[in-house]
């Protein structure tokens, strides 16, 4: 299994191409339902944070879901089953790193599925799709 890895946030220039790429997977523009987010650390002079699911092997978001809408993904992270989701938002609160986003129109969480589409459009080596289990990577 592969998963998306933030390799080095210090290389991030804040272009947000990853956010637009995530949205574009569905053939749309903008960023309304992107599952990755780039924000400054309090002013751009200080650099950026790349916020995206880190594929926990024992994810707290799934643990707090009252309707089992978050299935554990093989290789870490979760898969949202939208038909089950009631939009309670507990998962969002449970995620310590804030990597669960919200689709206001659908009133459902947006969570990275680790497809790696965004990494194809990161020109600066900030994010990459890595093989789960490679020993030289620390999440």
Partner 1 sequence: MLLNDPLAKVLYIDLSRRSFWIEYRQDLFEKYLGGVGVASMLLKEECPEGIDPFDPKNPIIFAVGPLVGLFPMASKTVAMFKSPLTGNLGESHAGGRSAASIRLAGYGAIVIKGASDIPIYLTIYNDKVRFHDGRAIWGTRSTVAGRALREKEPGSGIRCIMRIGVAGERLVRYACVITETFRHFGRLGLGAVFGSKKLKAIVIAGNNTLQVKKGKIYKEAYKEIFKRILSLSALKKYHDLGTPVNILPLNKIKALPTRNLKTAFFEEAEKISGEHFAENHLGRRLACTHCPIACIHLAALRQPYKDEPYFYKTTFISYDYELIYALGSMLGISDSVGILRLLDEIEILGLDAISTGVVLAWATEAFEKGLITEKETELRPKWGDYESYINMVRKIVTQPNDFYKTLALGVDEAAKRYGGEEFALAFGKNEMPGYHTGPGSYLGFLTGARHSHLDSAGYSFDQKYLGKEFTSKDLAIALFKEESYRQILCSLVICLFARSVYDCQTVLRLLDIAGFTMNEKTLRQLGEEILKNKYQFKIQEGFSFKNLRIPKRILETISPHGQLKEDFLREAINVYQQLLEGKIFLD
Residues binding partner 1 (CB under 8 A): 13-17, 20, 23-24, 26-33, 37-40, 42-45, 47, 121, 123-124
In the complex, what is the shortest distance from the CB of residue 68 to partner 1, in angstroms, rounded to a whole number? 28
Q: Which is nearer to partner 1, 13 or 72 (CB)?
A: 13
Q: Which residues of 103-120 are buried (b: 16+ CB within 10 A; e: fewer)?
A: eeeeebbbbbbbebebbe
Residue 118 to residues 63, 93, 114, Cα–Cα distance (Å) = 27, 25, 9
In the complex, what is the shortest distance from the CB of residue 26 to partner 1, in angstroms, rounded to a whole number? 7
Q: Which is nearer to partner 1, 20 or 64 (CB)?
A: 20
In the complex, what is the shortest distance from the CB of residue 4 to partner 1, in angstroms, rounded to a whole number? 18
How far apart CA 6 and CA 119 sit, in angstroms, is 9
* Residue whose token pair is 């947006």: 110
Q: Which is nearer to partner 1, 2 or 20 (CB)?
A: 20
Q: Which is nearer to partner 1, 65 or 101 (CB)?
A: 101
In the complex, what is the shortest distance from the CB of residue 128 to partner 1, in angstroms, rounded to a whole number? 16
**Cβ atoms of residues 84 and 69 within 8 Å:** yes
How far apart CA 128 and CA 16 sit, in angstroms, is 15
Tell which residue, 132, 117, 95, 127, has the closest CA to residue 10: 127
């Amino acid at each position: 299994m592969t998963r998306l890895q933030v390799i080095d946030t210090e290389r991030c220039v804040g272009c947000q191409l990853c956010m637009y790429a995530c949205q574009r997977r569905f053939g749309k523009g903008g960023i309304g339902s992107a599952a990755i987010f780039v924000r400054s650390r309090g002013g751009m002079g200080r650099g950026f944070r790349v916020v995206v699911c880190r594929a926990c092997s024992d994810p707290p978001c799934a643990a707090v879901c009252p309707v089992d809408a978050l299935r554990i993904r093989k290789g870490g992270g979760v898969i949202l089953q939208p038909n089950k989701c009631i939009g309670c938002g507990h998962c969002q609160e449970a995620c310590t790193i804030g990597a669960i986003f919200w689709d206001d129109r659908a009133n459902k969480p947006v969570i990275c599925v680790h497809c790696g589409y965004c990494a194809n459009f990161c020109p600066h080596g900030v994010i990459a799709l890595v093989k789960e289990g490679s020993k030289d990577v620390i999440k």
